Structure 1
Amino acid sequence: MKLFSIKKLISPTGSIQGKIFVAFSLVTLLGIAAVTSIVYLYMRENVKNNAFTSVTDSIRQADESLNLRLEEINRLNTVVATNNTVLSTLQSDTEEPSYEWFQEQKRIEEFLSAVIAYKPYISRVAVIGLSGKVFHVGSPWLDKSIIKTPMMQYFLEHGSGRAYFHQTGSSSIVTGRELRYNMKTIGIVMFDLNDDFIKKIYDVKPTPDSMLYVVDEKNEFIYEPKTSAMDKDTILKLNQELAGSSGSVERVIHGKSYLAVSRTSDYTGWSTLALIPMKSLLNETVRIRNVLAEVAIIVFVIIVIGTLQVSSRITKNIRMLRSMMMRVMEGNLTLPAAEIHSRDEIGQLYQAFKRMVEELRRSLEGIVRTEREKREAELAVLQAQIRPHFLYNTLNTVKYLAKLNGVPNIVEVSESLIELMRGVLGNSNEYLSLEDELQYVRSYVTIEKYKYVEPIHLHIDVEQEELLQCRVLKLMLQPIVENAIIHGISSSEQSGLVHIRIERQHHELRIEVRDNGKGMSKEQIEALFEARGGQNNTRFSGMGVRNVHERIVRLHGEPYGVSVHSEPDLYTKVLIRFPLLEE
């Protein structure tokens, strides 16, 4: 079951928890792999550097140890070359065998024994005269045949200072110097270094299978391991590549990788080449690498488990919010009792969602209530359909009775009321022509003038006849005229005059309604626009100046609307600005 959930998490279409899990796991895996690789490479390079430093120091110490012995032998050469006994013996005429010869041999051998006493690294010292006299102490044995050997010729050619000779097939090193008397070479003094001493000095092995070679200037091996995996040509070729340098390189020889360390002695000019197999050198690092890999895997597994738990806790609130949204999507607007109390973005999202659900619930309740009220209103409308017809018929009956009885005033009022109600109740359009709107105003004024003692005169001035066909809002002028009669003319003691002027300015229709009433103060004008639900004392439409202004602004925006200007006891002027809407 756990494996299934992990597979589900890492699927491309998985949840946010799965994406967090996969992303964090990948980042962790890359981080662990990078750190492990860097640590391993650093350790590998460090091991190589340490091996190079160790081998270089060991070779340097071996060269210095050999150089110290060679310098000491050089001083001993000088002692022998300046000894009078040696020089006089080599120039004497004694022949072998004779008593004098034995005496000379005894004296020289005693001298030579004293010279190499306590010098275990010297295996032999010899004095060889060109006259054929040969004296030596140590092994191997020497006789007169040494005079004709290449070694003797080498020392005679190079023995003015210090010279070193290596016998082919042997590990011994022979150092020699000329013996001169009166600017004439009379012989050679030679010192042989012990083979075991050479092997001990150059027995430098960082690893058991390491190999070390010492090559002289004639490309002859001064020292080489007993068992060498390399042929001499390969060693000499590699030594020539690294000749004169003191460093390390990595070379692949016969399919195996080696760390080659080279050093050239300043004293002898010999090259020391050490070959260390990389496999053996890095054997410990491989083991450490495996340990690092195991630790990295364990750490990764622990982090993966921890990531799974952490991602589950992080996305717990998201899953809870998702389930709430699914409930709302199914039509259940009741949120569960469990709430999200976190203060992070999820908590803020939950609070916004909660408020949205509450608003949605209230909106749905309002819609249900509105629909119920709408159905009730429709029923009421159906029930009241008969009322306007009944009212028209009743008013027509009153009009005919007034004609029969000779009462023209009642006839006029009845006709005006019938006309006005037919326009208001029978026409459901929001817009109508300006001519029809003015007819409603005339019918309204006709009805109103019988209420007052003084007559009310209505004067309409139209700049152009075609303006009468422009469309205006239904009942846009009647509330303005009603306001002029009620607030201006009704309380005046003189006859009332309502003057309506209609003109066109650019693409705008301007209607000015002016009366000669008592006027209004600034406070009264402000009260006109602040009143809600229309003027309380309007007697026909129930709509006031503010309603007309708001209807115009709402439908056509600024700067259209109604503005009022009045001078107390003089006049009141109302200006209506309306867009020019042609029929």
Structure 2
Amino acid sequence: MKLSTLQRWISPKRSIQGKIFIAFIVVTLVSIILITVIVYMSMRETITQNAITSVSDSIRQADESLNIMLEEIDRLNTVVVTNKNTVIDTLLSPNEEISYEWFQEQKRMDEFLSSLIDYKAYISRIAVVGLSGKVFFSGGPWLDRTILGTPMMNYMLQNGSKHAYFKQTGVSNAVTIGREIRYNRATIGFVMVDLNYEFIQKTYDVRPTTDSMIYVLDKGNQFIYETRTDSPLTPSYQQIKEINQQFKTDGEAVRRYIDGKEFIVVCRQSDYTGWSTISLVPMDSLLTESVKLRNLLAEVSIIVFVVVLIVSLQVSSRITLNIRKLKSLMMLVKDGNLTLPKNEINSEDETGQLYHVFNGMVEELKDLLEGIRVSEKEKREAELTALQAQIHPHFLYNSLNTIKYLARMNGVPNIEAVSGSLIELMRSVLGNSSEFLTVREELAYVEHYISIMKYRYMKPIRMITEIEDDELLDCRVLKLMLQPMVENAIIHGIGPLEQDGFILIRVYEEGNNLHIDVVDNGKGITEEQREYLLKGTGTNGETSRFSGMGVRNVHERIVRTYGDSYGVHLCSEPGVYTKAEIRLPKLEKSVENNKREVI
């Protein structure tokens, strides 16, 4: 039976099982080969690019770290060459060894130089050398007048008009940064600072592999730093010079063969010193892990292919049966039967997924029909709920109006005034759906609010308005912007006072911007209290009780709407006044932004 089935698969007229099996094998084989090749090449390229990025970043960081040290040393040199009392006068003085005056000069120079390099571990020595033969230094190694006439001194005198860099070799490796000292347009000596070579070695020890090499060359193609290695791959000095020249032409990163070996060459030139940093990374060492990855991918591919081959034999023998079952179920739905048998197809392959999707579609179809009926019912309920929500504000306004009329009938004008102000204030808040109002409307809301608050404190609170131009009253501002400021002025400024208080609201234009100042004659606030108010609460932790918005809320709304150049600024003088300055862009009145809901 199995032999006949296999014969059907390999015959010219193969069954659908054989076609699926062969398709699985071909697709799987091609996919495994393509994926393996793509993953390997991608990983190889990724490793290379990551190495280039890592080396480039490391070189850049090392270069920036060295530049910071060199900039600090250059500043020290500038301090020395511009110091007349201690440096220039000492070099020009006629005092000679060994005299009291000479000892005083020596002590003064030692103290001055020592103070410059204290706590700078990367500086090994600072020295001032006069052409007259005077030598002063702090640090080590020892330095005397034998430096006069040396190649380093000649180099400093020729190149030290600003700053000169010189690599010392021998007993004490160091990079010397020097600058000539001039007086009356004549060179009288030079100052030099030795950069500890160990810091340069630590700074440039950024090799991604153990056999990588790093070289730092100055403008004259002389080595400032080079990796010490016994590797036979170490290039010659001439090759490094050629690489440096190629870098100036080809860019920062190139691949190059040196003595038959491929290297990644990463270069960078310092904008500050002009030094070139060259990193050579052998490709063989860098791609060692990629070879292991290639072997692992090959092994995994063989295992996956064998597994797929076995699974394909099992899956292909079952797919057609499930397809026929699925076709029968579709014919039932076509005839109008939406009740399907459960768990007819239990496989988890594509056919099983199609069965579950089809079964879900049938269930969704039944749910859709039921949902249409339910949605119609919910629509009617939502309309009723919306109608009830509209009734609540009407009931509240009608109740307040009733209280107002009862107060008038009973001759209680204060209750009538408070009720009327509360009606207008709530009408302003609940009846206006726009985010923006005019300045005129904001001032009206504030008047209603003050008329309520003066009964709370049982004393008159005067509101004074100063309008620079009546046209400013029609400018648009954010809704409920002034009320929190006035509330803060009453609660924290005027309220605690025994005498009567007033609130001045000044509206004016400045630089095409709208300014609104709210000033009170209260007890004032301290700097800490101002900071606390801008965090959203009052100085006693009491928040705005009506609007739910504090000073900080108003400030953040303005900044969020118009930008950081606008907002609220508080200033105060304790015991005299407190002023809230509001700065807004001047916006003309817009009809569509001031629509009111009719209640």
Q: TM-score, normalised by structure 1?
A: 0.50
Does structure 1 residue 34 correspond to structure 2 residue 34?
yes
Q: Structure 1: how far apart are the matches of 2:182 and 2:125? A: 21
Query: Could you tell me how far 1:125 is from its partner in structure 2?
Result: 0.7
User: Structure 1's 5 and 207: CA in aligned 2 closer, same or farther, altered over 3 A?
Assistant: farther
Asked whether the equivalents of residues 9 and 19 of structure 1 are also in contact (C-alpha less than 8 Å), the reply is: no
Per-residue displacement from partner, 1:306-343 (whole Å, max 9, x unpaired)? 22334556799xxxxxxxxxxxxxxxxxxxxxxx9997
Asked whether the equivalents of residues 8 and 18 of structure 1 are also in contact (C-alpha less than 8 Å), the reply is: no
Aligned to 2:161: 160
Q: Structure 2: how far apart are the matches of 1:12 and 1:250? A: 54
Q: Structure 2: how far apart are the matches of 1:71 and 1:5? A: 87
Q: Structure 2: how far apart are the matches of 1:256 and 1:8? A: 56
Matches within 5 A, 1:48-447: 48-83=48-83, 84-168=85-169, 171-227=173-229, 229=231, 230=234, 231-243=236-248, 246-311=251-316
Query: Could you tell me how far 1:82 is from its partner in structure 2?
Result: 1.7
Aligned to 2:333: none
User: Structure 1's 245 and 102: CA in aligned 2 closer, same or farther, altered over 3 A?
Assistant: farther
Asked whether the equivalents of residues 165 and 173 of structure 1 are also in contact (C-alpha less than 8 Å), the reply is: yes
Matched residue type, 1:78: T
Aligned to 1:504: none
Q: Structure 1: how far apart are the matches of 2:326 and 2:160? A: 96
Asked whether the equivalents of residues 245 and 262 of structure 1 are also in contact (C-alpha less than 8 Å), the reply is: no
Query: Could you tell me how far 1:282 is from its partner in structure 2?
Result: 2.5
Q: Structure 2: how far apart are the matches of 1:67 and 1:22? A: 66
Matched residue type, 1:199: Q
Q: Structure 2: how far apart are the matches of 1:20 and 1:237? A: 61
Asked whether the equivalents of residues 168 and 220 of structure 1 are also in contact (C-alpha less than 8 Å), the reply is: no
Per-residue displacement from partner, 1:341-384 (whole Å, max 9, x unpaired)? 9979xxxxxxxxxxxxxxxxxxxxxxxxxxxxxxxxxxxxxxxx
Aligned to 2:425: none
- The structure that has the greater radius of gyration is 1
User: Structure 1's 6 and 43: CA in aligned 2 closer, same or farther, altered over 3 A?
Assistant: farther
The percentage of counterpart residues that share the same residue type is 59
After alignment, is 133-142 or 111-120 more displaced?
133-142
Gaps of 5+ in 2: 329-599
Asked whether the equivalents of residues 179 and 189 of structure 1 are also in contact (C-alpha less than 8 Å), the reply is: yes
Asked whether the equivalents of residues 171 and 198 of structure 1 are also in contact (C-alpha less than 8 Å), the reply is: no
Q: Structure 2: how far apart are the matches of 1:166 and 1:342? A: 84
Asked whether the equivalents of residues 244 and 264 of structure 1 are also in contact (C-alpha less than 8 Å), the reply is: no
| DSSP-derived class of the 1:38 partner | helix
Q: Structure 1: how far apart are the matches of 2:169 and 2:126? A: 19
Query: Could you tell me how far 1:243 is from its partner in structure 2?
Result: 2.5
Query: Could you tell me how far 1:114 is from its partner in structure 2?
Result: 1.0
Q: Structure 2: how far apart are the matches of 1:107 and 1:189? A: 16
Matched residue type, 2:240: I
Q: Structure 2: how far apart are the matches of 1:238 and 1:206? A: 20
Q: Structure 1: how far apart are the matches of 2:260 and 2:7? A: 48
Asked whether the equivalents of residues 122 and 192 of structure 1 are also in contact (C-alpha less than 8 Å), the reply is: yes
User: Structure 1's 135 and 306: CA in aligned 2 closer, same or farther, altered over 3 A?
Assistant: same
Q: Structure 1: how far apart are the matches of 2:48 and 2:182? A: 52
Asked whether the equivalents of residues 244 and 263 of structure 1 are also in contact (C-alpha less than 8 Å), the reply is: no
| DSSP-derived class of the 2:248 partner | coil
| DSSP-derived class of the 1:196 partner | helix
Q: Structure 1: how far apart are the matches of 2:4 and 2:156? A: 88
| DSSP-derived class of the 1:104 partner | helix
Query: Could you tell me how far 1:113 is from its partner in structure 2?
Result: 0.8
User: Structure 1's 106 and 342: CA in aligned 2 closer, same or farther, altered over 3 A?
Assistant: closer
Per-residue displacement from partner, 1:176-213 (whole Å, max 9, x unpaired)? 01111111110000000001111111111222222111
Query: Could you tell me how far 1:253 is from its partner in structure 2?
Result: 2.3
Query: Could you tell me how far 1:286 is from its partner in structure 2?
Result: 3.1
| DSSP-derived class of the 1:235 partner | helix
Query: Could you tell me how far 1:7 is from its partner in structure 2?
Result: 11
Query: Could you tell me how far 1:120 is from its partner in structure 2?
Result: 0.7
Q: Structure 2: how far apart are the matches of 1:245 and 1:166? A: 28
Per-residue displacement from partner, 1:459-491 (whole Å, max 9, x unpaired)? xxxxxxxxxxxxxxxxxxxxxxxxxxxxxxxxx
Matched residue type, 2:193: F
Query: Could you tell me how far 1:216 is from its partner in structure 2?
Result: 1.0
| DSSP-derived class of the 1:127 partner | strand
Asked whether the equivalents of residues 245 and 263 of structure 1 are also in contact (C-alpha less than 8 Å), the reply is: no
Gaps of 5+ in 1: 317-339, 345-583
Q: Structure 2: how far apart are the matches of 1:71 and 1:36? A: 51
Q: Structure 2: how far apart are the matches of 1:307 and 1:107? A: 92
Q: Structure 2: how far apart are the matches of 1:64 and 1:12? A: 73
Matched residue type, 2:237: K
Q: Structure 2: how far apart are the matches of 1:199 and 1:24? A: 59
Per-residue displacement from partner, 1:230-283 (whole Å, max 9, x unpaired)? 122222222221136652222232333222111111101111111122233233
Q: Structure 1: how far apart are the matches of 2:167 and 2:189? A: 20
| DSSP-derived class of the 1:160 partner | coil
| DSSP-derived class of the 1:243 partner | helix
Matched residue type, 2:151: P
Q: Structure 1: how far apart are the matches of 2:179 and 2:186? A: 13
| DSSP-derived class of the 1:74 partner | helix
Q: Structure 2: how far apart are the matches of 1:259 and 1:281? A: 9
Matched residue type, 1:133: K
Q: TM-score, normalised by structure 2?
A: 0.49
Asked whether the equivalents of residues 162 and 175 of structure 1 are also in contact (C-alpha less than 8 Å), the reply is: yes
Query: Could you tell me how far 1:69 is from its partner in structure 2?
Result: 0.9
User: Structure 1's 246 and 141: CA in aligned 2 closer, same or farther, altered over 3 A?
Assistant: farther
Query: Could you tell me how far 1:18 is from its partner in structure 2?
Result: 6.7
Q: Structure 2: how far apart are the matches of 1:163 and 1:12? A: 87
Per-residue displacement from partner, 1:87-139 (whole Å, max 9, x unpaired)? 11111112223332222222111211111111110111111101111111122
Asked whether the equivalents of residues 166 and 174 of structure 1 are also in contact (C-alpha less than 8 Å), the reply is: yes
Matched residue type, 1:238: I
| DSSP-derived class of the 1:279 partner | helix
Q: Structure 2: how far apart are the matches of 1:241 and 1:74? A: 31
How many aligned residue pairs are there? 321
Asked whether the equivalents of residues 155 and 177 of structure 1 are also in contact (C-alpha less than 8 Å), the reply is: yes
User: Structure 1's 58 and 6: CA in aligned 2 closer, same or farther, altered over 3 A?
Assistant: farther
Matched residue type, 1:172: A
User: Structure 1's 133 and 12: CA in aligned 2 closer, same or farther, altered over 3 A?
Assistant: farther
After alignment, is 291-300 or 73-82 more displaced?
291-300
| DSSP-derived class of the 1:62 partner | helix
User: Structure 1's 282 and 227: CA in aligned 2 closer, same or farther, altered over 3 A?
Assistant: same
User: Structure 1's 22 and 9: CA in aligned 2 closer, same or farther, altered over 3 A?
Assistant: farther
Query: Could you tell me how far 1:150 is from its partner in structure 2?
Result: 1.4
| DSSP-derived class of the 1:137 partner | strand
User: Structure 1's 85 and 252: CA in aligned 2 closer, same or farther, altered over 3 A?
Assistant: same
